[in-house]
Amino acid sequence: MGLLHEGQIVRGTYEVERLVGEGGFAEVYRVKHRFMGRQAMKVFKMVGMTVKEIEEMLAEAILLSRLHHPNIIHVFDANVTETSKGICGFFTMEYVAGGSLDQFWKSYGPTFVPVETAVEIVRQVCRGLALAHSQNPPIVHRDVKPQNILVGYDHDGLRARLSDFGLAKRANPLTMLVSGRGTPAFKAPEVLKDYNADSCAGDVWALGCTLYLLLTDRLPYTDPESFRRDHARFEQPLVPASRLNAQVGPGLDRILARALAIDRRERYTDAREMLSDLENWKADAPLGGKLSHRVGSPGTDKLALGPYTPPNEEQARQMVAEAMSLAKRFRLQEAADLMEEAFNKWPRLRERYQYRVTLWREGKIC
């Protein structure tokens, strides 16, 4: 049983629509604000906390409220509410119907994410992360990965947002290091050797892993079918992304090689350095939106992060039809939300319908 239930009214302002995700410490719901439309509500599972403990639990919301950037998830409110388990803390933030980058990536099934799309997403995340790294002392996210990156559309087109700053921590002002937390598959080599050696360069490593995954459908320095968490996996050389995806050129190979340098001193120091190269990157050939099929055993596509549900064209087209119907009734934001969900069922719909989503987000019918 969840902490909240569908139809529940929270603090007289938010109507709970449905549960959209759950982790070890919190549940995330899609809610409808009385005046401002859909938002996401993160409700923490711990109950019976003191005021001080609640403040500590809401530290993520407080941190995010001070980091205003279009590529960092925006927080609206923080408070406590009655749940099925007792009084729990919560905060509300932007709701991104398109979901996580993990879902976006998996939706492409046996094809690679187009190179220019992959670079644009990581470039945007890098912009948001660069703001965190520019703080004094720097804020280290410590858990950059596809599941913590949200991808949706606004009036300017595709927009990626870095989310889940629950493990974020300010670096020691003397050493510029923090303790290692987060997901082992995206942790830098030095953190696996020394728990207290995480840093902005560690976030860069995780971002490099993410870009490599989008371009190759596998994680660097590891066999995608038998991931090893020990340091021995870094003894093998990095396979250039261009060997796995013919659409990748030498410019991206160089960026990835530096982001994924085993020696931290040879890596980008922080997201600002990596962003500079990503901003200057240009495709080596006119790639356009061409989809490139991966080479590998049948049924092994998009399995690097675990099992997933393959794309479903029929379901996607049903959702598109419903979205078009909502738009005709001037329920434009709901139509845009549903269309974004359809894209993750069948990505080929993006090219055809994303312009509609951008117009609907502006409140324009088309």
- How many other CB atoms sit within 10 Å of the CB of residue 263? 8
Cβ atoms of residues 197 and 190 within 8 Å: yes
Cβ atoms of residues 351 and 114 within 8 Å: no
Amino acid at 89: G
Copy the structure tokens of residue 325.
Answer: 């119907």
Point out the catalytic residue in the list 102, 143, 203, 217. Answer: 143
Q: Is 301 a catalytic residue?
A: no
Cβ atoms of residues 140 and 202 within 8 Å: yes
Copy the structure tokens of residue 319.
Answer: 């959702």
Following DSSP, what letter does each residue of 309-343 receive, concatenated? Answer: PPP-HHHHHHHHHHHHHHHHTT-HHHHHHHHHHHH
- How many other CB atoms sit within 10 Å of the CB of residue 56? 13
Positions of E strands within the chain: 9-10, 14-22, 26-33, 37-44, 75-83, 86-93, 139-140, 149-154, 157-162, 169-170
- How many other CB atoms sit within 10 Å of the CB of residue 123? 18
Task: Find where tokens 């409140």 sit.
Answer: 363
CA dist., res. 240 & res. 223, Å (int): 14
Q: Which residues are catalytic?
A: 143
